[in-house]
Structure 1
Amino acid sequence: MTRKPLLPQHSRYDYVPLPERKDYAWPEGKRLAFCLTTNIEWFAFGAGMGHDPAKTGEPQTHRNYSWRDYGNRIGIWRLFDLLDELGLPAAHNCNSLVYDYAPQIMDALRARGDEVVAHGRSNAENLRGLWEPDEERILREITETITQREGAAPKGWMGSGAYETSNTLDLLKEIGYEYVMDWPMDDQPVWLRTKHGPLLSVPYPIELNDSQVVIHRKQDAGDFCQMIIEQFDEMLEQSVKHPLVMNVSVHPYVFGQPFRLRMLRRALKHCVDHVGRDAVWWTRPRDVAAHCMALPPGVVP
């Protein structure tokens, strides 16, 4: 007699432990893929959702709006300079409304050749509670906006707040997305099942995410930067056995602050100047996804 499951589960992916997976390499035999992903977001004034620098659940006021807007006015430009200084490529989770309110930012990242990852319309809202037709309308609006402005459809999706509904993955695959970064369950890409075929999950961090560390957990910026160093050193060693993805998530209104930027520079320089850097693929999520999609079936779990 078959024993019935005791807990609600999902069918998006199977449990495949790391030791049971097939080996592969990144381009040129690299073993660690390093991605730096910023979050470029626009918020409603005095309405909707959004982080507060004081405590969770504070009302939307001029204070928290302008604190976050610092990232668009000042922080992101300092991060662009830092990326140029270190010669690092980057991806940017972008709200589609940034095209309307701060087009200079989108022009700058386009000039850098960086990746635009679709990140909702605004982080003042998310997809929770939407009926499927309403969600589809919003997803298509976002996709069309990016496609028109960039001349090509976005390859990847990162939900506002990483929130989804039970229909999101199916709709994203139907619309044409190749990967998502909402499922932080792995250090390797993993295929997700949808009604319209497989959709790749590219690793994106909850842990190595400045929003989680500095804002939610109230840890010091130095803690976050030390986490980058420890993560890099350990994953570089671990990647000898398994190809891995190290993705670092940064918000311009957090690490665009000068005192934090200085610490971030030191942490990233540790990675870039590391004696083992030749084993690292300095890349973007879309390139990780493209490489995985070109591998023989069954290699990526």
Structure 2
Amino acid sequence: MQEGAPDPGLYDYHPYRGRRKIAWPEGKTCAVWVAPNLEYYEIDPPANPHRKAWARPHPDVTGYSYRDHSNRVSHWRMADAMERHGFPGSVSLSVALCDHHPDVVADGAARGWEFFSHGIYNTRYSYGMDEAQERAIIEDSIATVERATGQRIRGWLAPALTHTPRTLDLLAEYGLDYTCDLYHDDQVQEVKVASGRLASIPYSLEVNDHYGFNVYGMSGREYADCLVRQFERLAAEGEQSGTVMCIPLHAYLIGQPHRIGPFEEALRHIAADPRCWKARAGEIVDAWRAQQ
């Protein structure tokens, strides 16, 4: 048989069956964390030779203004629905938002949300960056978020999910605890890094509202049903060993008037289930680490 490409060595292989039991607090079986993406998209970003920021020619007034709905209107709709049902946010933050729209960041901080970095802008990609540029973005993220919120970031979701071969190693070197950029598991897992340690917390593309609405073409009610079905399965399997469900959100999508109602119904259903542990990302990683 022809030899294939080598395993990239990002993590060890552990089949789902037969793992050591993970127990969540108070006998909960599924840790549910909500990840609002608080983002800033530039109307006319610098070109990256590896990927276009907008499908249309720049400046893209339509793309920019559509996403700006998050920071003017729909953030508050989404955040209020989360708060009514006891879900704290773990924020995937375009760090430039601290300067462009500090009111949005301040609102999340006042609600007790956790912040981690989603890069500086969601229109600037890691492709082609040298090490000095990537270090500068991590250092900027740490300093800017701490200045704006008083928190030192613990986690990372790469800007527009773009990476370099050194990204994970650099995150561990700077003392970050978790990455959201691996989609390989429904439990927290260890990432293999050059030094230090880094956990992979389950994020999601499957129940991400961007994929639900823009890729899979779901209605608001279909997306809400998808969230409920995701939780029910993970909560049942979590009786054997605690699972993790992430609900990644973009306010300009989920916070539209015609979608927010079904979404809140899904939150109500999940929050009322005694198997649900409503947690922040860092709390989930800490509870998992304590059992390793």
User: So what's the TM-score if we normalise by structure 1?
Assistant: 0.90
More displaced 10-residue stretch of structure 1: 147-156 or 75-84:
147-156
Q: Structure 1 residues 58 and 213, CA, compared in 2 at 3 Å: closer, same or farther?
A: farther
Paired residue type of 1:286:
G
**Residue 83 (structure 1) aligns with:** 82
Shift of 1:4: 8.7
CA contact (8 A) 1:75 1:257 kept: yes
CA contact (8 A) 2:82 2:267 kept: no
CA contact (8 A) 2:175 2:196 kept: no
**Residue 213 (structure 1) aligns with:** 212
Where 2:278 maps in the other structure, the secondary structure is strand
**Residue 27 (structure 2) aligns with:** 29
CA displacement, residues 209-260 of structure 1 (integer Å, 9 cap, x when unaligned) = 0111211233323221110011111112111122100111110110110101
Match of 2:285 among 255, 275, 289: 289
Within the alignment, does 1:10 sit opposite 2:12 as a pair? no
User: So what's the TM-score if we normalise by structure 2?
Assistant: 0.93
Give the percent of matched residue pairs that are identical in Structure 1 and Structure 2: 28
* Number of residue pairs the alignment of both structures matches: 285
Write the distance in 1 (CA, Å) between the matches of 2:152 and 2:31.
23
More displaced 10-residue stretch of structure 1: 168-177 or 58-67:
58-67
Map 1:156-167 onto structure 2 (within 5 A): 156-167=155-166
**Residue 52 (structure 1) aligns with:** none
More displaced 10-residue stretch of structure 1: 178-187 or 9-18:
9-18
CA displacement, residues 109-132 of structure 1 (integer Å, 9 cap, x when unaligned) = 111111111110010112111111
**Residue 19 (structure 1) aligns with:** 17
Write the distance in 2 (CA, Å) between the matches of 1:263 and 1:284.
23
Write the distance in 1 (CA, Å) between the matches of 2:257 and 2:85.
17
CA displacement, residues 75-121 of structure 1 (integer Å, 9 cap, x when unaligned) = 10111111222122121111111110111111111111111111100
Within the alignment, does 1:63 sit opposite 2:62 as a pair? yes
**Residue 140 (structure 1) aligns with:** 139
**Residue 203 (structure 1) aligns with:** 202
Write the distance in 1 (CA, Å) between the matches of 2:191 and 2:237.
24
**Residue 276 (structure 2) aligns with:** 280
Write the distance in 1 (CA, Å) between the matches of 2:12 and 2:129.
27
CA contact (8 A) 1:163 1:182 kept: no
Where 1:20 maps in the other structure, the secondary structure is coil
RMSD of Structure 2 on Structure 1 (CA)? 1.7
Shift of 1:48: 5.1
Write the distance in 2 (CA, Å) between the matches of 1:47 and 1:118.
19
**Residue 98 (structure 2) aligns with:** 99
**Residue 239 (structure 2) aligns with:** 240
Write the distance in 1 (CA, Å) between the matches of 2:61 and 2:4.
48
CA contact (8 A) 1:156 1:181 kept: yes
Write the distance in 1 (CA, Å) between the matches of 2:101 and 2:128.
29
Write the distance in 2 (CA, Å) between the matches of 1:23 and 1:5.
36
Map 1:150-229 onto structure 2 (within 5 A): 150-229=149-228
Write the distance in 2 (CA, Å) between the matches of 1:57 and 1:48.
14
Return 5+ residue gaps in structure 2 as ranges.
48-53
Write the distance in 1 (CA, Å) between the matches of 2:65 and 2:217.
20
Write the distance in 2 (CA, Å) between the matches of 1:262 and 1:130.
42
**Residue 127 (structure 1) aligns with:** 126
CA contact (8 A) 1:173 1:194 kept: yes
Paired residue type of 2:80:
D
Q: Structure 1 residues 58 and 215, CA, compared in 2 at 3 Å: closer, same or farther?
A: farther
Q: Structure 1 residues 236 and 132, CA, compared in 2 at 3 Å: closer, same or farther?
A: same
Write the distance in 1 (CA, Å) between the matches of 2:259 and 2:31.
24
Where 2:248 maps in the other structure, the secondary structure is strand
**Residue 38 (structure 2) aligns with:** 40
Paired residue type of 2:173:
E
CA contact (8 A) 1:37 1:90 kept: yes
